[in-house]
Amino acid sequence: MDDRIIKLIGKDNLDIIKSKHILLIGVGGVGSAALETLVRNGFQNIQIIDYDKVEESNLNRQIITDTSNIGELKVNAAYKRMKLINPDINLSCQAIRLTEDNLVTILDSGFDYVIDACDDINIKYELIRLSCKMDFKLIESMGTAKKIDPTKLSITYLDQTTYDPIAKILRKKLRDNKINKRVVVVSSTENIRECDGLGTLSLVPNTAGILLVSYIINDILKENM
């Protein structure tokens, strides 16, 4: 499955990609797209964390879901699908709810990149705070619900986001705690649409997941090409 990748970036760069250790937090709409993009682009060492189970409402946007795995832990559904794509990947799964305490323990394992695709504001903040002290690169997904235009998504910095309620809360939390780190995020400049609950099409979260991995691949390549 590596032939087309090698033609574009070369075997040496693919070997570097394969050597990186990635932590992916959340395998929902954004995270499942990120996971599949990681696996299809040569990443071999991935740890995923998500405590949720597959629900029928996930079917419209979460790549790992289908009618046969409703009720199954998302990490287990993700594991099965990714192993069908590349049986050789080193994919470890944890079905746990993250807290401030266990997050530190997990990060102590050592990762080159951490992808935050969860919807927990406190965990997003803790990841930023810990990234100031620990040796990993962080990219976070902001809000993707109530939006329908994937072309409004971009890789940017948290302090440059607009029309993003999650980013707004995070910016304030960082200011209140005097954390000045510039945080790389995927965010949409599309205004929020009024709807009943967290209405979502697959267009925006799936594209956000691909962009998260795009940041990592291009970050690796810029150092080695």
Half-sphere exposure of 78 (CA within 13 A, CB side): 36
pTM, two decimals, is 0.96
Share of the chain residues as helix, strand and coil, in percent rounded to the nearest 5: 45, 15, 40
Tokens standing for residue 61: 């946007």
Rounded to the nearest 5 degrees, what angle is found at the Cα of 75, between the Cα atoms of 215 and 46? 40
DSSP secondary structure string for all residues of 63-102: TT--TTSTTSBHHHHHHHHHHHH-TT-EEEEE-----HHH
β-bridge pairing 137-141 and 184-188: parallel
pLDDT at site 225: 62
Q: How many CB atoms lie within 10 A of CB 181?
A: 13
Q: Which residues of 48-84 are buried (b: 16+ CB within 10 A; e: fewer)?
A: bbbeebbeeebeebbbbbeeebeeebbbbbbbebbee
> Could you list the pLDDT tens digit for every one of the 225 residues in the chain?
899 999 999 999 999 999 999 999 999 999 999 999 999 999 999 999 999 999 999 999 999 999 999 999 999 999 999 999 999 999 999 999 999 899 999 999 999 999 999 999 999 999 999 999 998 999 999 999 999 999 999 999 999 999 999 999 999 999 999 999 999 999 999 999 988 888 999 999 999 999 999 999 999 999 766
Q: Which residues of 183-215 are buried (b: 16+ CB within 10 A; e: fewer)?
A: bbbbbbbbeeeeeeeeebbbbbbbbbbbbbbbb
* Phi/psi of residue 52, nearest 5 degrees: -80, 165
β-bridge pairing 153-157 and 184-188: antiparallel
Domains of the chain, earliest start first: 3-222 (3.40.50.720)
